[in-house]
Amino acid sequence: MKPVQKVLMSVLWALMVLIMVGVIGAGLWRKGQRDLPVLADVPAFELTDQNSQAVTPKLLAGKPWVADFVFTHCGGPCPMMTTKMADLQKKMTGVQFVSFSVDPERDTPDVLKAYAATFGADESRWKFLTGSKDAIFATARGMLIPAAPAAASQPILHSEKYLLVDADGKIRKAYDSSSPDALAALREDAASLVEESGK
């Protein structure tokens, strides 16, 4: 075999190896995309957003969304959770955001609208929801989120998790809002769901 032919053969073999590695890597990447189990379906609800508009799961369908449960008068983790949600809003595309108030009696649409403005919420992508106490806490239970209204001996209780919901209204994963690693994973997983949804 001539030297030129040897060089060509070596180049061809190298190209084949690179192609095989790329195909295998792409397959593993796609497998990773699908490695988000379905935890539950989002329950049926009809709540009211900061603009006094009715919101249902059907209205949110078509794009993935990130949800949390907070309240505007919270003296604990809520301001930090909402600040981090605002940061996610800036860094993520093709994703909606939904914050459910666990203090619906005080968190009227007007109060939620002012709260949204404080955190620079893009209202075209981020909804703050209120409704009856029964509806809010039934929604939390249906979304696998521990939450309880205030009682004589305890304040309002709620989880500090973010939930990732896919475009079909299926809950895929919960993330610790206080963990930078979890937030990075949330961004990656949401990007995968955006790609899967074709949006």
Taking only the tens place, the pLDDT of each residue in 152-193 is 777 888 899 999 999 999 999 999 999 999 999 999 999 999
The predicted pLDDT at position 2 comes to 53
CATH of the domain at 61: 3.40.30.10
* Sign of the alpha-carbon torsion through 151, 135, 120, 185: positive
Instruction: Note the pLDDT of residue 149.
Output: 85
State how many domains the chain has: 2
Predicted pLDDT at 181: 97
Query: Which residue in this structure is represented by tokens 């949204």?
Result: 116
Residue 120 and residue 28 share a domain? no
Mean pLDDT of 82-100: 97
- Identify the domain containing residue 186 by its residue range: 40-197
Residues 7, 81 within the same domain: no
- Structure tokens of 196? 């899967």
Q: Are residues 146 and 184 in the same domain?
A: yes
Q: Is the whole model's pTM more than 0.75, yes or no?
A: yes
- Which pLDDT does position 151 carry in this prediction? 81
| Shared-domain flag, residues 75 and 13 | no
d(CA 118, CA 186): 24
Q: Are residues 153 and 191 in the same domain?
A: yes
Q: What is the pLDDT of residue 20?
A: 46
